């Protein structure tokens, strides 16, 4: 069978390519794909003309939109900036995708929920963000849906991986330096490894799946559970993890207590669920830390 020409291979643009998830997507791009990464150097997506400069000349068939202002406390301090870089930018990207006839895969968050349900959230559950980050990402989802139909919104949570600042790397570094860490033990989620998520995102991006889907590594943990597993993988069993309440770790941002995402729609679409978070964090720590 002849190899496909470059014109026959789908062209995919990844926004936020310098970030933790974007860099994982670039590293794990499947062979049949022509992939291009763009970041701020190519254009400010919150500006319509900047978004056009970044995307239009590349004529993508698919855009995986990872670019975002993800500093949750930063969003709380500056909600206008959060809306600009999360919602307005996504609207600009979606509008260009509609004009170019491109499919859009948008990365969203568990923070669109308030964490009061007490069981894993499905895609049909009512949203109710508690903070500016969640507000801005929910607005991004809605703006994208207004602009085009060929849209896959992927909500995920608690990301860590190579190529960016993250909780796991920070906790291992602090434990190595101090031998003791204080970690919140009354917030629950599903820690998600960017390289596992990226591999799955490629499957979703190149499929016909659309709408909203939840996608995380399997299993539930508190931040303290994640810290203990990471330190064990790093050979730091003697380091102390002090389990504390959210009230003992004051931040300007109100966060959902239980924002675990139900991944069953991903499985119903015919995709393989991601592996347990415990396996993924062990691989990350042993390989990259």
* 281: nearest Cα among 200, 198, 167: 167
Pairing mode, strands 188-189 and 221-222 = antiparallel
Q: Comparing C-alpha atoms, which of 258, 261, 235, 224 is closest to residue 176?
A: 235
Cα dihedral sign, 74-76-78-84: positive
What does the alpha-carbon distance between residue 128 and residue 148 come to, in Å, rounded to a whole number?
24
Residues classed as catalytic:
133
């Amino acid at each position: 069978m002849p190899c496909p020409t470059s014109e026959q291979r789908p062209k995919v643009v990844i926004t936020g390519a310098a970030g933790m998830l974007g860099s994982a997507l670039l590293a794990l791009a499947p062979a049949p794909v022509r992939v291009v990464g763009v970041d701020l150097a190519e254009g400010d997506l919150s500006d319509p003309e900047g978004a056009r400069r970044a995307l239009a000349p590349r004529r993508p068939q698919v855009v995986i939109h990872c670019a975002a202002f993800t500093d949750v406390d930063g969003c709380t301090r500056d909600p206008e900036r959060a809306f600009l870089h999360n919602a307005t930018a996504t609207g600009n990207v979606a509008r260009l995708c509609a004009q170019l006839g491109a499919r859009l895969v948008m990365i969203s968050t568990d923070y669109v929920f308030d964490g009061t349900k007490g069981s894993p959230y499905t895609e049909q559950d009512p949203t109710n963000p508690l903070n500016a980050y969640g507000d801005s990402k929910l607005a991004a989802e809605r703006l994208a849906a207004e602009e085009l139909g060929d849209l896959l919104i992927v909500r995920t949570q608690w990301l860590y991986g190579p190529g960016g600042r993250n909780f796991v790397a920070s906790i291992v570094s602090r434990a190595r330096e101090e031998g003791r860490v204080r970690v919140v033990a009354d917030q629950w989620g599903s820690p998600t490894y960017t390289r596992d998520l990226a591999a799955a995102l490629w499957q979703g991006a190149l499929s016909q799946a659309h709408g909203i889907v939840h996608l995380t590594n399997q299993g539930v943990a508190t931040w303290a559970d994640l810290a203990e597993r990471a330190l064990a993988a790093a050979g730091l069993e003697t380091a102390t993890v002090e389990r504390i309440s959210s009230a003992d770790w004051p931040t300007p941002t109100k966060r959902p207590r239980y924002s675990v995402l139900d991944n069953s729609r991903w499985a119903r679409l015919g995709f393989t669920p991601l592996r347990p978070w415990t396996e993924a964090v062990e691989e990350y720590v042993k390989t990259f830390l």
